């Protein structure tokens, strides 16, 4: 598995790029910075929201494996797995809250680490 940072311009608007995720996760909170990555066919969004770091893993083709989650925690969040809140049912929660996706998603996982830890 190879983690690759996707180049982004400074003009990208998160609400236009990922409207459902921006609405349900960031909820009009200011984001210090965000970066986009790919891990094989998995899209990774890393966002620093001042009080916490949020990583969203999206895959359209297959379920996200435990090895992929461990790699992201180790390389992007740079902490132990016990310090990270892992929400494997995040796709289900988004659908229950009314999110509509333009293409079907196989798996969406949310990783959160509070900065106070």
CATH code (residue 81): 3.40.1720.10
Count of residues in the chain: 117
Extended strands (E) in 32-79: 33-39, 42-48, 52-59
Say how far apart CA 86 and CA 63 lie, in whole Å.
15
The pTM assigned to this predicted structure is 0.82
What's the number of domains the chain is made of? 1
Query: In terms of residue numbers, what domain contains 81?
Result: 3-114
- The contacts of residue 94 (CB under 8 Å, 6+ apart) are 20, 21, 24, 108
Residue-wise pLDDT for 78-103, tens only, equals 999 999 999 999 999 888 888 777 78
Query: pLDDT per residue over 35-75, tens digit each?
Result: 889 999 999 999 888 888 999 999 999 999 999 999 999 99
């Amino acid at each position: 598995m190879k983690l690759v940072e996707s180049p982004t311009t400074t003009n990208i608007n998160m609400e236009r790029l990922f409207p459902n995720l921006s609405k349900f996760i960031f909820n009009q909170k200011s984001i210090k910075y965000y970066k986009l990555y790919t891990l094989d066919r998995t899209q990774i969004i890393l966002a620093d929201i001042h009080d916490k770091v949020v990583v969203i893993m999206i895959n359209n083709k297959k379920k996200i494996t435990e090895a992929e989650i461990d790699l992201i925690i180790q390389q992007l969040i740079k902490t132990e797995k016990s310090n990270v809140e892992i929400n494997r049912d995040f796709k289900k929660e988004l659908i229950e809250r009314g999110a509509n996706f333009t293409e079907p998603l196989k798996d969406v996982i949310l990783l959160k680490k509070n900065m106070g830890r």
